[in-house]
């Protein structure tokens, strides 16, 4: 590196949000600032910039009709926090690597061609992520760009867990179970191993419960099973995504409502989950506030907890037992009541919450002496991207 402070920029583009962080590279990464824009594509988009040195937040309205339109205000807000000319690499979260990209890799023209080809695997995320990579290629032509794939963490899943029981010709086209939230899971395993090295080597369930929600079963540090499959719509019910459904529903709605693929995609990704069940809000906080007044809100919360509990049982079976359960992301980190409801009835597995520790959002929330250690660990996908990029280009 010929710069004094090599900077790494991370980009994490969600379906309607964009998060970015600026790090100083090194064996100890230092985050200078984070910026995030929410509600892209609607009116009332806002950007929050946090100076990580002072802890100060700045919030302002931005015009954000598309993700591309967010790049200028984002970079403008970061330019006071570090010399953008010192950016030596840009790391992108890319949700799907498809069959060709099983590990994180530097962006090439061939990769972009392949990502465009598999765009229909995940039309919510991939086109936006490709646009961002192209935009940063133009802005920083000499800085390498690195694609950090959410699917990469699950490449260790046994073949049996990857196969979808449909005709084999689809597997040859890349249709299989992949799993997602891999950057979050990699970060959480790193943290768990740092905090309690023996736990990291055991049988672990990681529960990433945010707007998107999934769980992963990890044995000896390797993913062996996860709730999501070919796309991030599957598995647990989420804020707006349905999670697993009966495949027979597709044909039923096509016949009875003439529902086409676009409509079905919109329904299961934007109108389902907590929002669809409650017909009120996709935010669990709103539903908890309303559950005593509105049975639809109460049922939505109960279905979410029931399905999460059921999946913990299934993943424990895949692992052949359970040593550690980790809660993370918006709901997992901040909602004691949901953690308690998910764990209620899992005593047979050795999962027992300590009410006081849980209420206090303590790091370790299990009862002393119970078989499974239950932990709350905040996730940080941006840090995982920066670490991956530095490991790849730092030397
Ligand atoms: P994303 O998946 O978009 O990154 P987050 O991980 O930040 O989202 O999670 C956001 C969600 O977390 C919100 O929609 C909200 O439902 C939930 N959440 C945040 N804080 C709480 C809380 N105290 N109680 C219940 N739910 C919460």
pLDDT at 1: 39
pLDDT at 124: 86
For ligand 1, atom 24, the nearest C-alpha belongs to 335
For ligand 1, atom 3, the nearest C-alpha belongs to 211
- Ligand 1 atom having least distance to the Cα of 283: 16
- The answer to whether residue 368 is catalytic is no
pLDDT at 374: 98
Residues touching ligand 1 (Cβ under 6 Å) are 210-212, 239, 283-285, 329-331, 334-335
Residue-wise pLDDT tens digits, 194-234: 999 999 999 999 999 999 999 999 999 999 999 999 999 99
Q: What are the chain's domains?
A: 7-149 (3.30.420.40), 197-376 (3.30.420.40)
Residue-wise pLDDT tens digits, 288-299: 999 999 999 999
For residue 329, report the distance from its CA to the centre of ligand 1, in Å: 7
Which candidate in 51, 76, 122, 150 is catalytic?
150
For residue 283, report the distance from its CA to the centre of ligand 1, in Å: 7
Q: Sorting pLDDT into bands at 50, 70 and 90, what band is 331? A: very high
Closest CA to 52 of 68, 36, 39, 63: 36
For residue 107, report the distance from its CA to the centre of ligand 1, in Å: 31
pLDDT at 3 > cutoff 80: no
Which residue among 38, 330, 381 is best mutated to probe the pocket of ligand 1, counting the most ligand atoms within 8 A of its Cβ? Answer: 330
For residue 236, report the distance from its CA to the centre of ligand 1, in Å: 15
Residue-wise pLDDT tens digits, 300-324: 999 999 999 999 999 999 999 999 9
Do the bridges between strand 373-376 and strand 213-219 make them parallel or antiparallel, or are there none, so unpaired? Answer: unpaired
Which residue among 17, 184, 210, 280 is best mutated to probe the pocket of ligand 1, counting the most ligand atoms within 8 A of its Cβ? Answer: 210
Q: Sorting pLDDT into bands at 50, 70 and 90, what band is 395? A: low
For residue 209, report the distance from its CA to the centre of ligand 1, in Å: 8
Express as a percent the part of the chain with pLDDT over 90: 86
4-18, 224-238, 373-387: range with lowest mean pLDDT = 4-18
- pTM, full prediction: 0.95
pLDDT at 2: 43
pLDDT at 391 > cutoff 50: yes
For ligand 1, atom 26, the nearest C-alpha belongs to 331
pLDDT at 179: 98
């Amino acid at each position: 590196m010929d710069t004094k402070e090599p900077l790494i920029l991370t980009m994490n583009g969600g379906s309607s949000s964009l998060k970015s962080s600026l790090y100083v590279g090194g064996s100890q990464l230092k985050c200078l600032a984070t910026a995030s824009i929410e509600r892209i594509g609607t009116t009332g988009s806002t950007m929050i910039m946090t100076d990580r040195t002072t802890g100060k937040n700045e919030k302002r309205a931005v015009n954000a009709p598309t993700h591309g339109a967010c790049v200028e205000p984002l970079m403008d807000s970061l330019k006071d926090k570090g010399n953008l000319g010192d950016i030596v690499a840009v790391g992108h979260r890319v949700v799907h690597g498809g069959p060709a990209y099983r590990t994180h890799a530097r962006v090439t023209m061939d990769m972009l061609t392949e990502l465009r080809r598999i765009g229909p695997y995940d039309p919510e995320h991939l086109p936006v992520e490709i646009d961002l990579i192209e935009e940063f290629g133009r802005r920083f032509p000499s800085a390498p760009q690195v694609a950090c794939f959410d699917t990469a963490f699950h490449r260790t899943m046994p073949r049996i867990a990857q196969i979808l029981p449909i005709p084999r010709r689809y597997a040859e086209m890349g249709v299989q179970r992949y799993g997602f939230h891999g950057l979050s899971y990699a970060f959480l395993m790193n943290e768990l191993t740092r905090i309690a090295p023996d736990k990291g080597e055991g049988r672990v369930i990681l529960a990433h419960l945010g707007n998107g929600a999934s769980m992963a079963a990890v044995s000896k540090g390797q993913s062996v099973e996860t709730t999501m499959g070919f796309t991030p719509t599957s598995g647990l019910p989420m804020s707006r995504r349905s999670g697993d459904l009966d495949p027979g529903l597709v044909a039923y709605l096509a016949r009875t409502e003439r529902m086409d693929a676009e409509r079905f995609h919109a329904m299961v990704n934007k109108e389902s989950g907590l929002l669809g069940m409650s017909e009120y809000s996709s935010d669990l906080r709103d539903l908890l506030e309303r559950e005593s007044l509105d049975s639809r809100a109460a049922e939505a919360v109960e279905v979410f907890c029931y399905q999460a509990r059921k999946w913990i049982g299934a993943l424990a079976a895949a692992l052949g037992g359970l040593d550690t359960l980790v809660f993370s992301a918006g709901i997992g980190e901040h909602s004691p009541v949901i953690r308690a409801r998910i764990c209620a009835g899992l005593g047979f597995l050795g999962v027992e919450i300590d009410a006081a520790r849980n209420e206090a959002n303590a790091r370790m929330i299990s009862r002393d002496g119970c078989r499974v250690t239950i932990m709350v660990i905040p996730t940080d996908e941006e840090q995982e991207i920066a670490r991956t990029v530095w490991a790849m280009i730092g030397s």
